[in-house]
Amino acid sequence: MTVVDALHSLVPHARALGKVAVLLGGTSAEREISLLSGGGVLEALRGGGVDAHAFDPAQRELVELKREGYARVFIALHGRHGEDGTVQGALELLGIPYTGSGVMASSIAMDKVMTKRVWLAEGLPTPRWLRLAADDHQREQFGRVADELGLPLIVKPPREGSSIGVTKVVALSQMDKAVTLAARHDAHVLCEEFIEGLEVTCPVIGSGAQAVALPVVRIEAPEGAYDYQNKYFTDAVRYHCPSGLPPAEEAEVRRLTLAAYRALGCRGWGRADLMIRARDRRPFLLEMNTAPGMTSHSLVPMSAQAAGIGYPELCLRLLAGAALDDSTRAAPAAHGGHA
């Protein structure tokens, strides 16, 4: 039986999962998207018979999870104070198993600069980049960045998601405005080589040797503008799954995604974003999302569906895999499945 077959067949008995909190909302710039993701997950879990409840950390103290007897947590938070290791650390201290990556992998993956450093150390391809420190946003640096990375280039905050604060700079005169925008969201600014080509994404489910890369999704945005608005609030973007890539390219994207996921120490689930360079068809890793979106426009459910895993089943499987970094305190067993 393949791992995907196992994911499809091992749906746990809902009652065995205990009382479940779906963390949603939060305080990050992606709060609006988190509410949409969490709402979808909550509906799916309840529809599957799970005793699931919404829990917004922006409105309640996390310690209430322990007081109210929650057995597991489904993290549907995005961005800071949800996807960056902070909530994961609090849940470790509370001893409540949670979905997705642990403290270290979450914190590294949230920081695109640290992610690139790990990937480069592992020999994985990622676009060339420069980091402008908080005290180094002087205009005289902009020419150096353009000379080294070339134009166009991408300017973005390294610790935000959903394309928040991202600018494609096509002329040196745009750098000041782009850096100012990115700096509103992060003290540091990431300047990245622009890769002309196809934008793709590839989800992963599972941990360690049992992790599996799901089908690749090819993204076709109007004029290449795969921004916050187009991602979540329009139907202008076209998604292709199956991707339509040649089989060898699809296989290479999935191989790289698994290697990137494992290099960061991710577990549970995640989604890598990549670019395939047009001139030589070489893929480059952009980032790893450790708490991907689960909205109606989200790409993990789309890819899972192509693999034969429906949205409710996907939510149940992710919840059943809730765990702690501290292996001495394992998650309650989810009975009712068959190997």
- Residue 185's nearest CA partner among 169, 154, 167, 164 is 164
- Known catalytic membership, residue 192: no
- Known catalytic membership, residue 271: yes
- Known catalytic membership, residue 289: yes
Query: Running DSSP on this structure, what letter comes out for residue 98?
Result: B
Catalytic residue among 160, 186, 273, 313: 273
Q: Checking DSSP bridges between strand 129-132 and strand 189-193, what pairing results, if any? A: antiparallel
Helix, strand, coil in percent for the chain, rounding step 5? 40, 20, 45
Catalytic residue among 79, 102, 270, 293: 293
Cα distances (Å, whole numbers) of residue 190 to 7, 153, 226, 285, 307? 37, 10, 18, 15, 35
Catalytic residue among 34, 101, 289, 303: 289
- Tell me the H-state helices in 184-310: 228-232, 247-263, 299-306
Distance CA 85, CA 101 (A): 8
Q: Is 223 helix (H, G, I), strand (E, B) or coil?
A: helix
Catalytic residue among 37, 271, 317, 321: 271
Distance CA 255, CA 243 (A): 15
Token duo for residue 51: 């005793």
Catalytic residue among 92, 199, 287, 313: 287
- Known catalytic membership, residue 30: yes
Catalytic residue among 25, 26, 28, 30: 30
Task: Give catalytic residue positions.
Answer: 30, 162, 232, 271, 273, 287, 289, 293
